[in-house]
């Protein structure tokens, strides 16, 4: 197959941005995207457009990141295609009104339910667009200008597949992004770094626009003395090889029980030789750093470290190549630990025990996107019980099942998507009740004049606690439970029974 020519990235003229946004907002208010079949047709057409552009996606990511075809297909095109198939099979089930749970008997006659309403017009990048379409929103997509070939292919896919009155793409850098953020949105979904995430959240605040932030984090791997050194090394090295470590879920540093450090280091060296017999630079299976700025930032982290390089360490700025680099550091304040690398750096800090590791991890960043505990069930459960994170892979690195909710907490962001969560994050769960006319005789208790009505209202409505003043739970006998229709005094039960009788008359 011949070389694929991908055009240069053309920024959207700033004067066009407001008109594009207005167009998709107008379409939403015409209710075009409310129709579930319309949404499904859009998603199906998007599936085939991604299929048709698979080679362009491979070439774009090779050009932008030196990304191997295997990684591109596994983590980009196949992931998106599978997500569309999953959504298509489940969307009719997801959009159905839900019967409201845990409703008191008094209110059951009002047919309480939850409807999933689209939010409106949303701003995002390509990953979450599937959920936004499925949920019935109109969408403006803003790709990252840091991956220009990928941004061009994204535009080709969107324009080949999607209705332009509902879904549009805006290309650009800071000025174009600022123009977009000046608009009023119904939701903004941002994936990137915490610095830009704060700018997005600040820009959204004046309009009270809800924001989902997927920000990555300074993710720790905690290696207890019960861990298997070979699994630790192979799995965590793989976590740093995907896209040369430029993955928000890859571990930022390892806290390793001191007794296990020599064995873990030895296994890293073995795994590196096995994965790259001729070294990473000569391998077709190893990506490059996205741009010069990111390269220099990573180089600075290594240069400023007090640690000792145990494996790798070679760099070539012209080629934007940084070898997977294993460094043993001696302080939690080392530059390799306290900054998010977003690159192929693997610092190891020896620790005396799990408690020390947990304290260090919580002090560096207490809410990372990912946490990777290795060891026995007891050890990993202890780590889980004393830490927080967006997600956890026990005895593995950066693993995420595609249909599980994915998102951060605290410093690593908020909101989640993937699978069903991609739909849920773009809908408003709208409670709806319907009060039939025949309920009027019961509802009349709420109208003035109120004289004599409060005791009746309490008899029918007040819930008796199932706990005493010291906070201990009180267990009701089964006979009393039946006689009081669910707890409380006999009088309250009689009141409830009266409501039931009135409803059946």
Rounded-to-integer distance, Cα 110 and Cα 84, Å: 36
Using an 8 Å Cβ cutoff, are 193 and 181 in contact? no
Q: What are phi and psi of 135, to 5 degrees?
A: -85, -5
Quote helix, strand, coil % in the chain, to nearest 5: 50, 15, 35
Rounded-to-integer distance, Cα 113 and Cα 450, Å: 30
Rounded-to-integer distance, Cα 390 and Cα 283, Å: 33
Count other Cβ atoms within 10 Å, centred on residue 424.
17
Query: Read out DSSP for 85-105?
Result: HHHHHHHHHHHSPEEPSS--G
Using an 8 Å Cβ cutoff, are 493 and 484 in contact? yes
- Find, among 481, 438, 488, the residue nearest to 462 by Cα: 488
Query: Which among 248, 267, 323, 411 is annotated as catalytic?
Result: 248
CA dihedral 445, 448, 454, 459 (to 10 degrees): 0
Tokens of 296: 């220099």
Residue 248 annotated among the catalytic residues of the structure: yes
Query: Which among 76, 214, 267, 323 is annotated as catalytic?
Result: 214
Rounded-to-integer distance, Cα 447 and Cα 106, Å: 17
Rounded-to-integer distance, Cα 387 and Cα 358, Å: 7
Tokens of 236: 């965590």
Using an 8 Å Cβ cutoff, are 93 and 269 in contact? no
For 302, 327, 342, the CA distances from 311, given in Å and listed in that order, are 13, 7, 18
Residue positions annotated with a catalytic role: 214, 248
């Amino acid at each position: 197959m011949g070389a694929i020519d991908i055009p240069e990235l053309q920024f959207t003229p700033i004067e066009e941005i407001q008109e594009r946004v207005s167009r998709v907002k107008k379409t939403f208010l015409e209710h075009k995207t409310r129709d579930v079949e319309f949404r499904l047709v859009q998603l199906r057409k998007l599936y085939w457009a991604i299929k048709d552009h698979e080679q362009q996606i491979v070439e774009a990511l090779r050009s932008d990141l030196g990304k191997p075809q295997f990684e591109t297909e596994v983590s980009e095109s196949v992931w998106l295609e599978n997500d569309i198939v999953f959504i298509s099979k489940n969307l009719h089930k997801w959009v159905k009104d839900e019967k409201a749970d845990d409703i008191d008997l008094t209110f059951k006659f009002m047919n309480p339910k939850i409807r999933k309403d689209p939010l409106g017009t949303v701003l995002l990048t390509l990953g979450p667009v599937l959920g936004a379409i499925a949920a019935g929103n109109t969408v403006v997509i803003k790709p990252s200008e840091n991956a220009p070939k990928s941004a061009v292919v994204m535009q080709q896919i969107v324009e080949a597949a999607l209705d332009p009155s509902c879904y549009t793409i805006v290309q650009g850098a800071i000025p174009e992004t600022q123009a977009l953020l000046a608009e009023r949105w119904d939701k903004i979904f941002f994936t990137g770094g915490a610095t830009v995430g704060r700018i997005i959240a600040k820009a959204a605040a004046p309009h009270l626009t809800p924001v989902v932030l997927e920000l990555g984090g300074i993710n720790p791997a905690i290696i207890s003395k019960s861990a298997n050194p070979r699994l630790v090394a192979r799995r965590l090295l793989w976590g740093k090889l995907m896209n040369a470590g430029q993955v928000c879920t890859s571990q930022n540093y390892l806290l390793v029980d001191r007794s296990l450090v020599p064995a873990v280091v030895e296994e890293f060296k073995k795994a590196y030789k096995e994965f790259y017999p001729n070294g990473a630079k000569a391998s077709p299976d190893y990506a490059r750093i996205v741009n010069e700025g990111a390269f220099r930032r990573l180089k600075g982290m290594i240069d400023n470290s007090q640690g000792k390089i145990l494996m790798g360490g070679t760099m070539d700025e012209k080629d934007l190549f940084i070898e997977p680099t294993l460094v043993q550091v001696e302080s939690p304040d080392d530059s390799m630990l306290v900054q998010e690398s977003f690159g192929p750096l693997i610092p190891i800090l020896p620790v005396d025990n799990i408690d020390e590791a947990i304290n260090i991890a919580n002090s560096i960043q207490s809410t990372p996107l990912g946490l990777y505990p290795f060891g026995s069930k007891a050890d990993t459960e202890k780590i889980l019980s004393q830490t927080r994170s967006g997600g956890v892979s026990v005895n593995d690195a950066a693993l995420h099942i595609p249909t599980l909710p994915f998102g951060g907490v605290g410093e690593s962001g908020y909101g989640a998507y993937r699978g069903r969560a991609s739909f849920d994050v773009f809908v408003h769960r709208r409670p709806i009740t319907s009060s039939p006319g025949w309920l009027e005789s019961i509802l009349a208790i709420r109208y003035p004049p109120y004289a004599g009505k409060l005791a009746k209202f309490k008899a029918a409505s007040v819930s008796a606690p199932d706990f005493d003043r010291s906070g201990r739970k009180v267990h009701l006998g089964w006979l009393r439970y039946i006689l009081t229709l669910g707890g409380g005094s006999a009088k309250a039960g009689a009141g409830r029974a009266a409501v039931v009788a009135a409803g059946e008359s």
